[in-house]
Amino acid sequence: MTAKRSKRLTFPTPSHPLHSLLTDSLPAGHPFQLSPRLLPPFLFPNKSGAASPNTPLGLPPPLPKVRNVVVCGFKSYKEKTIIKDIDPGFNIIVGLNGSGKSNLFAAIEFALTLEYRHLRPQARSALLYQGHGNKINDPAFVEITFDNTDKKLPVNADTVVFRRMIAAKKDKFYCNGKEISNAKQFLDVAGFMNPYFIVRQGKVQELAVGTDAFRLKLLEDVTGSTSYEQKLEDYRKSVDDGDAKKTEMEKCLTDLKDRQDSLANEATELKQYLKWDSKRRSIEQILNQREMASAQTALKSCEAEREKVSEQVEPIQKEWQELKKDEQTVTQNLANVASKYERVQAKREIVDSEVLSLVSEKERLKNLREEFLSQSKNLSKKQVNAQLKKLQSVLSEMELELAEAKNELELAKSNELNVEQRVISKDSKLRILESRLGGEFLDSKEIVVLISNIKKDIEKNSKKLDSMKKTLATLENSKKTVTRNLEGIQEEHNNIRIELAKLQKASTHPDAELFKAEKARREMWKTLNEVEQKMSNEKGVRLALMEHLQRKVGREAINGWEGVHLAIEELRKNGEDEIVEGYYGLVIENIECEDSFDLAVETAGGIKLFNHVVKNRKVGMRILKEFNRLKLRGAPTFIPIDDIQVPVITYPPDHRDHRPLMNDINCSPGLEKLVSFIFGPILLCRELSDATSLAKIHKITCVTTAGDKVFRTGPISGGYMELGLGKLELQRAKAKSDQSLESLSHRKFNAESQLEKLEKHIAEAGSASVNRESKKCVLMAKKDDSACKLKRFEVELKSIEVSFTNTQKETERLSREIYELTCRKTNYEAELERQSQSTPSQSDRKMVSNLRNKLKKLTKEKKEIFSKRMNIEKVITSLTLKIQQQHTLVEEERFKELELHSSQEHGQRLSDINEMIDSITDQINKKISESNNIAESIPQLAAKRSKLKAQLDNLDDKEKKIMKSRNQVERRLDKLCTEALGLNQKLQEITEAGTKFATVPGDSNKFQNESSKVLYEKLKKINKYIGGVSGVNQKAAEQYQELVEQYAAFKENLEQLCTARDEMDQLVADLEEKRADAILKNFRVLQQQFKEIFSQIVPKGIAELILYGKNFHVDSETLDSDKIRKLLGRGVAEGLKINVNFINNRLPEMCNIIQLSGGQKSVVALCLILAIQKIDPVPFYLFDEVDQALDPQYRAEVTKVIHGLSSEFNLQFICTTFRREFLSDADKFYGVSMTNKCSTVRPVDIHEAVTFVEHSSQPE
């Protein structure tokens, strides 16, 4: 709770005009004369004797401002927190809930009031920091630093530091480091005893829901009239005390007699003093008149010069505005040219890259064409068939020749074997006969041994021969197996080659289709880029239109418009079709009219044009619920069609100069009630004069085609001077832009769909091509593998053949050896039979000679046969190789024959490739031509851009010159205004000084002809004389007469006391009258200030304060009669009623505050609090979330009013808020945050303050 101000009654001083009213009829020594200073101070002027210009009832001027605040150990402020350099104007404190803002206000309230004097120990302990961590060692205190440069406080220092330290039982107060005992006196002097200089949370709500009697009590507290009742009781009690003081009054009679003699001498001195005082006042009046005339002349001269200089401002301002328009035009053109230049550059780069891509594609197709041409040249069907037949014929001849050679080889081998056997037989027989002829005879035993050995060798070689024959059989089988495998691999290899040829054939047409698809895709990309560029431009136009609408309508309405659309889209996604179909859009979207009626429709519709039309209240509530759920910005207003009640309007007779406005408005089907509701009560007139007369006669609101509006109550709002596009025109442009955007969106969707299909087709074709290539790779791998296998089997076959040949030769060798051994055995056996002959016979010698001859012939024959066999083997080997080669050539020709089947498709493929090359060539030529055209336009755009930059520089130079001359004129005007202000102030001071010359002595005319210099000299001498006799009792004569009268009165004993009682009754009546005057005057001031502040916060509204009692009520139209004064003096007032109207300023439609909503009540209560501050201002105010319950549209206006109070009355405000609107007019910002349950305060800029407020306003 805030401290209540103590109202002390103070008796006026003897120099005050009320002194005689209260004391003239009292006997000397009356207790009231002995107890001065018993009337409230608000009834009397300040110390200078003149009312303060800034306060309605002569309150003291504003006192010192708070500069710094230091909080240590108080509630959530653990550490020493210093708030430096508090702005003397409007300060804002922001922070999250629970961060310590209210604790900071409680700390300031703790220091500047005596609210916390009487606390229990537990409550006092709650003021200290109770958080976690180490306890603070320093004592808890709150310190306030005041700016005392004007010496408002009775302390000889520029700054005064007031500290309140929290102690266990009784707090201590310090001023500039020195402890003070009377803190209440210091706070009284500082001006902090107003009960409403701190408005804590809930104070506005308490006042909003308070009764009329509560508000009346508030008025009496502010005016100090509540102290009258107690003092009047004291006065009545003083009458009873008069009897007790009778003895004291008799003693006073003796004192009065002695005083009469001294007063006689003082009266003589006073006469002389009054003579000199009369001269002084005469001279001062003449000098004052002369100074006033001089000041008035100087003021007229200054005003004349100021008017002359002011005439120079308008042409300069007009020239500057025209220059700004030109500059804006040039800037816009420059931006357009620069944007166009960048687009052209980008387009040229794109075209060049496309040309390079097309050239690369063209080269690839040319290479492909050359490849196909080379293949087609090598393929001729007739040649292939002839070549194949020729090869097959040669192959047959070679095979026949090989067969004949093999037969000859077999015959040669057989002949060679026979000859060799015969040679062996003859040679063995010859050696035996030669040994005999030579006398070399073998012993029979040796022959037997030789025969036995030969038999063993024959047996051994026979076994080897059998083994070799088996080996030959095995090799023969292996050769057959390898030959079969080789034939299989050869067939597989040929099949792979055939599949590869078929795959090459299948890839011809897909490549052409893929090329066409890629070409179509490039075209579709180009179309899509063009559509997106148009959409981007159209979105820019729409954004500009929305910005124009936002400036004309307001951010809240536009944000609400966009937010409702988002909510509708969300509802459509959720399947709530009934709600979506029940939303019809804005009013302005559902009406149409001719362009010439735009201004009339905008003026008539006003903000209702941007209300949202719904089918019924259910639809509106559901949309609003979804809007709030999505936490969208804005403040949408809904008009349910089903709830509209169309009023019955009586129009004047039809005339060509006027007709109902709704007749010229077309609307969507089913919304006729809406048009009748908004535009039905409005008449469209051709001229303003017709509208004025019709509105007065027929009591109907009228508008003109020029945008003027005449209300039926009389006031005119018109002069539609807003430049630029109107709301309806902007809406049409926006609708057109939306339609264009929708069309472009459809085009983009279709292009994207086609592009997606092309991409899919290309992807599928690419995938098929990849599959073909993959399959081709697999086949190539199989081909290579089969070739490797083929080569391996050929090598293996060749190896087997070599082994077979070698084994066969070894077999033949063993056969010869066996045959030779058999012959030798036979010869030895024959030799053994002839052992009986001792000497060789003549027949033996002849046989030897025959054998030798036969042996020579056989040897020669053997050589010939061997030579023939070797030649035949060479021929066979050669023929075998040739046959293998011929087989390979035959397979190649067969493969070529297979490829000839696809020769007809080669022509079609070459035709497709040529068509692709021609198409790409045309595209390249077009792109090159387009690039050349772009290259030609680039220098032109660059030159145009340079020219526009030069124009802009020239305009800047002109603007600098105009601004220089404008600044000179404005400085001159400021100087003249300052001079005029000084002269006005001087004239006011002279006028105020002249008010004390209400009565001027009659001898003042004799000083008129004297110069001012002479008069100043005389005045100086007179003041010097009067100063020397300053001890003169100026009331001597009056006091002497009073003493005489009092002396006679005191002798009349009880009769005089009864007379004094009657006089006391009169005094009570006078006090009641003064009490009534105080209440009534302050009520009138409060009534006026409340009305003005309410009109500032609610421009379209009106407010009224009514003071009422049982038999009276006082409103703005009630005159201040004597009856009302008497009733107020008696204290019969019952309450202070408040009537307001938020919609319009028509008094008959006002309602009481209890009929208002919570937000409206808060506005009214806040207006009353602000009005009270204007009655009894103090230099420093704390407002804790006073905007908490206000609606958004009133917060900005409340901020302006607070800022106006701060600047107009030089008052200091510190406010906390959670609303962004309160930040706009503030001078300084502080942010409160809490870390580890410890609050801190730091200065922040407006951006940080906005961030604090936005975070605070979000729900947790």
pLDDT at 374: 60
Looking at the chain, the whole-number percentage of residues with pLDDT higher than 90 is 2
pLDDT at 835: 58
Do 703 and 719 contact (CB within 8 A), yes or no?
Answer: no
Do 587 and 609 contact (CB within 8 A), yes or no?
Answer: yes
Each domain of the chain, given as residue ranges in start order, spans 1069-1257
Q: Is the pLDDT of residue 999 over 60?
A: no
Which tokens sit at 5?
Answer: 């101000």
Q: Is the pLDDT of residue 46 over 50?
A: no
Which of 48-52, 769-773, 920-924 is least confident? 48-52
Q: What counts of helices (H) and strands (E) characterise the chain? A: 28, 26
How confident is the model over 1028-1057, as a mean pLDDT? 68
Which of 381-385, 698-702, 1017-1021 is least confident? 381-385
Q: Is the pLDDT of residue 1050 over 80?
A: no
- pLDDT level of residue 400 (50, 70, 90 thresholds): confident
pLDDT at 1256: 67
Contacts of residue 761, Cβ cutoff 8 Å, sequence gap at least 6: 517
Can you tell me whether residue 34 is helix, strand or coil? helix
Give the single-character DSSP code of 10: -
How confident is the model over 22-26, as a mean pLDDT? 38
Q: Rounded CA gap, 374 and 240, in Å?
A: 145
pLDDT greater at residue 516 or residue 538? 538
Give the single-character DSSP code of 871: H
Contacts of residue 905, Cβ cutoff 8 Å, sequence gap at least 6: 505, 508
Do 1029 and 273 contact (CB within 8 A), yes or no?
Answer: yes
pLDDT greater at residue 565 or residue 221? 565
Handedness of CA 1035, 1040, 1042, 1043 (dihedral sign): positive
Do 1217 and 1253 contact (CB within 8 A), yes or no?
Answer: yes
Which of 501-515, 542-556, 873-887, 1229-1243 is least confident? 501-515
Greatest alpha-carbon span in the chain = 230
Tell me the per-residue pLDDT of 436-445, one tens digit each, with 9 for 90 and over: 665 555 567 7
Tell me the per-residue pLDDT of 771-781, one tens digit each, with 9 for 90 and over: 777 887 888 88
- Half-sphere exposure of residue 262, counting CA atoms within 13 Å on the CB side? 9
CA distances from 745 to 269, 661, 1029 (A): 106, 38, 101
Q: Rounded CA gap, 966 and 973, in Å?
A: 10
- pLDDT level of residue 897 (50, 70, 90 thresholds): low
How confident is the model over 901-923, as a mean pLDDT? 67
pLDDT at 1259: 47
Q: Rounded CA gap, 848 and 709, in Å?
A: 166
Q: Which CATH architecture has domain 1069-1257?
A: 3-Layer(aba) Sandwich (3.40)
Q: Rounded CA gap, 730 and 735, in Å?
A: 8
Which of 14-18, 119-123, 716-720 is least confident? 14-18
pLDDT at 143: 92
* Radius of gyration, CA atoms only, the chain: 64
Q: Is the pLDDT of residue 703 over 80?
A: yes
Which of 235-249, 446-460, 1131-1145 is least confident? 235-249
Could you write out the three-class secondary structure of 483-536? HHHHHHHHHHHHHHHHHHHHHHHHCHHHHHHHHHHHHHHHHHHHHHHHHHHHHH
pLDDT at 60: 42
List of long-range contacts for 869-876, beta carbons under 8 Å, 24+ apart:
869/409, 869/412, 869/413, 869/416, 872/405, 872/408, 872/409, 872/412, 873/409, 875/405, 876/402, 876/405, 876/406, 876/409
Give the phi and the psi of residue 164 in degrees, each rounded to 5: -120, 120
pLDDT at 39: 34
Average pLDDT, the chain: 76
Tell me the per-residue pLDDT of 351-395, one tens digit each, with 9 for 90 and over: 777 777 778 777 777 777 776 666 554 545 566 666 667 767 777
Q: Rounded CA gap, 538 and 1123, in Å?
A: 74
- Which among 242, 20, 236 is positioned nearest to 1049, based on CA atoms? 242
Looking at the chain, the whole-number percentage of residues with pLDDT higher than 70 is 79
Q: Is the pLDDT of residue 13 over 60?
A: no
Tell me the per-residue pLDDT of 742-763, one tens digit each, with 9 for 90 and over: 888 888 888 888 888 888 887 8
Amino acid identity of residue 572, one-letter, is R
pLDDT at 1136: 85
How confident is the model over 796-811, as a mean pLDDT? 83
Q: Rounded CA gap, 151 and 168, in Å?
A: 34
Can you tell me whether residue 640 is helix, strand or coil? strand
- pLDDT level of residue 192 (50, 70, 90 thresholds): low
How confident is the model over 882-903, as a mean pLDDT? 61
Give the phi and the psi of residue 652 in degrees, each rounded to 5: -65, 165
- pLDDT level of residue 20 (50, 70, 90 thresholds): very low
Cβ neighbours, 10 Å, residue 678: 24
pLDDT at 69: 93
Do 27 and 1060 contact (CB within 8 A), yes or no?
Answer: yes
Handedness of CA 178, 181, 182, 184 (dihedral sign): positive
Amino acid identity of residue 889, one-letter, is L
Cβ neighbours, 10 Å, residue 93: 28
Handedness of CA 100, 104, 107, 113 (dihedral sign): negative
- Which run of H or E residues covers position 305? helix 246-378
Do 701 and 710 contact (CB within 8 A), yes or no?
Answer: yes
Q: Rounded CA gap, 779 and 384, in Å?
A: 25
Tell me the per-residue pLDDT of 423-433, one tens digit each, with 9 for 90 and over: 777 776 776 66
- pLDDT level of residue 614 (50, 70, 90 thresholds): very high
Q: Give the pTM.
A: 0.37
CA distances from 582 to 575, 579, 676 (A): 13, 5, 20
Tell me the per-residue pLDDT of 938-988, one tens digit each, with 9 for 90 and over: 888 888 888 888 887 888 888 888 888 877 887 887 788 788 778 887 787
pLDDT at 19: 37
Do 38 and 10 contact (CB within 8 A), yes or no?
Answer: yes
Which of 506-515, 1034-1043, 1079-1088 is least confident? 506-515
